[in-house]
């Protein structure tokens, strides 16, 4: 009996894994429907990176918060992905009402989270900065669920958020030249005194 092309291809998980590395989320979803092996390998790629951002849907809505849940393709109702799959979080500015901690209150420490990317993003005019914005340095989700990260990428010179992470091994600071402090101006003030 000859095997279908999908069955032969599914026999090599490394090839499938590499293929998923080059697909966007839409194509990943399509490929996951082909075969059980494709589903199992693709699921981890689909939820490997999540984004928290103003106006973007809640990334935890489809994720099982219990890290002991096992996913199964054969169940009539496919179980939700779980938090073990999350390896990277892209944090943009978000409101307190959008903060995962304020929505769920029971998100455990993300066991496989390796990288947090603290981006900024645009703040809509309708949001009052002081009252509604969830600041990184005060964000309960960062303080409680993301404490085991090894790497953080930060796009500002405010480092208060770093005190929450005691297992950091690498800090990458990405700022534009216009954001850097003016050293010449600082040195001139010092000389005048």
Quick one: pLDDT band at residue 100, thresholds 50, 70, 90? confident
Predicted confidence at residue 5, as pLDDT, reads 67
Residues 25 and 113 grouped into a single domain: no
Domain count, the chain: 2
135 and 152 co-located in one domain? yes
Q: Please, which pLDDT band fits residue 101 given cuts at 50, 70 and 90?
A: confident
pLDDT of residue 88: 92
CA–CA distance, 10 with 5 (Å, rounded to integer): 8
Do 34 and 117 have their domain in common?
no
Residues 92 and 163 in one domain: yes
pLDDT tens string 12-26: 778 888 888 888 877
Q: Is 170 exposed, middle or buried (0-12, 13-18, 19+ CB in 10 A)?
A: exposed
Q: Which residue has the tokens 């010449």?
A: 184
Same-domain pairing of 78 and 145: yes
Torsion of CA 26, 77, 145, 46, to 10 degrees: -20
Distance from the Cα of residue 82 to its chain's centroid:
14
- Is residue 172 over pLDDT 60? yes
Q: What pTM, to 2 d.p., does this model score?
A: 0.70
Q: Do 127 and 185 belong together in one domain?
A: yes
Q: Does residue 39 sit in the same domain as residue 59?
A: no
pLDDT tens per residue, range 117-157: 998 777 667 766 667 888 888 888 888 899 999 999 998 88
Q: What is the DSSP letter of 95?
A: B
Q: Clarify whether residues 38 and 68 are in a common domain.
A: no
Residues 6+ apart with CB under 8 A from 50: 59, 60, 63, 86, 88, 89, 90
CA distance 43 to 56: 21
Residue 63 near residue 112, CB atoms below 8 Å? no
One domain, residues 41 and 58: no
The boundaries of the domain holding residue 15 are 1-46
């Amino acid at each position: 009996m000859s095997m279908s092309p999908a069955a032969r291809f599914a026999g090599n998980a490394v090839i499938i894994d590499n293929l998923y590395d080059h697909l966007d989320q839409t194509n990943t979803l399509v490929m996951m429907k082909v075969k059980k092996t494709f589903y199992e390998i693709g699921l981890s790629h689909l939820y490997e990176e999540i984004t928290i951002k103003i106006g973007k849907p809640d990334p935890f809505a489809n994720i099982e918060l219990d890290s002991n849940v096992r996913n199964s393709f054969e169940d009539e109702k496919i179980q939700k992905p779980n938090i073990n799959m999350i390896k990277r979080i892209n944090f943009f500015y978000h409101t307190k009402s959008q903060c995962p901690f304020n929505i769920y209150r029971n998100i455990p420490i993300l066991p496989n989270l390796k990288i947090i990317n603290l981006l900024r993003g645009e703040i809509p005019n309708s949001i009052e900065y002081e009252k509604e914005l969830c600041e990184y340095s005060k964000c309960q989700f960062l303080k409680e669920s993301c404490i085991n990260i090894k790497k953080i990428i930060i796009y500002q010179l405010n480092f208060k958020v770093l005190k929450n992470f005691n297992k950091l091994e690498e800090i990458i600071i990405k700022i534009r030249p216009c954001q850097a402090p003016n050293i010449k101006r600082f040195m001139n003030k010092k000389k005048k005194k």
